[in-house]
Structure 1
């Protein structure tokens, strides 16, 4: 099982934003940072999941994925497969489309202090 940690960051709401993805595959670790453009912090959190799924398509296409995020809104939206927020509907649809290509994808909320690697990667990209 591949552990995937995601985090989004925005300088302003909305403002310049970025995503960080930290992947653990046993002893192998991979780190990815992405600039995302102008959006809210919540949108950046959803985009972090999207970018992580795209990375996993490339490197781990047939693996079981266990996502961890410190964003309750992202985890709850994906678990319920529902949102009232019109800004998140297309993002949820994109996540559903991407995750359908994997045998199993799990999402778990974790406290912010357990998501330090992904947070640091997002903040590094935000500074660029």
Structure 2
């Protein structure tokens, strides 16, 4: 099973945003940062999950995925397959489409203090985004 920690962050709301992905797989640890441009914090959280799914598809196809996020909005939306905000519906649909390519996908909410690796990576991505402006 692959353990995946995701976090999205923005400086301002909306503002410069980034996604951090921390993956534990087969005894190895992988870190990814993704500058996302300007968006809200909630959008960045959804994009972090999408980026993580892309990394899993590239490096761990066919594996069982266990995701962790400190975004209740994202975790609840994915678990319930429902989101009130219409702006996030395409992101939720994309997550479900990508997860369908894996035998099992789990997502769990965790407190911020248990998501420090992904948080650090998301903040690094914001700095990268600012440098690219």
Runs of at least 5 residues in structure 2 that lack an aligned partner in the other structure: 129-133
- In the alignment, which residue of structure 2 is the partner of 1:53? 53
CA distance in 2, matches of 1:67, 1:84: 22
Q: TM-score, normalised by structure 1?
A: 0.98
CA distance in 1, matches of 2:79, 2:8: 19
**Following superposition, which runs of at least 4 residues in structure 1 exceed 2 angstroms of deviation?**
none
Q: TM-score, normalised by structure 2?
A: 0.95
SS at match of 1:88: helix
CA distance in 2, matches of 1:55, 1:25: 12
Matched, 1:120 2:120: yes
Equivalences, count: 128
CA RMSD of aligned residues (A): 0.6
- In the alignment, which residue of structure 2 is the partner of 1:98? 98
CA distance in 1, matches of 2:26, 2:109: 21
Deviation digits for residues 76-122 of structure 1 (CA, Å, limit 9, x no counterpart): 00000011101110000000010000000000000000000000000
Runs of at least 5 residues in structure 1 that lack an aligned partner in the other structure: none
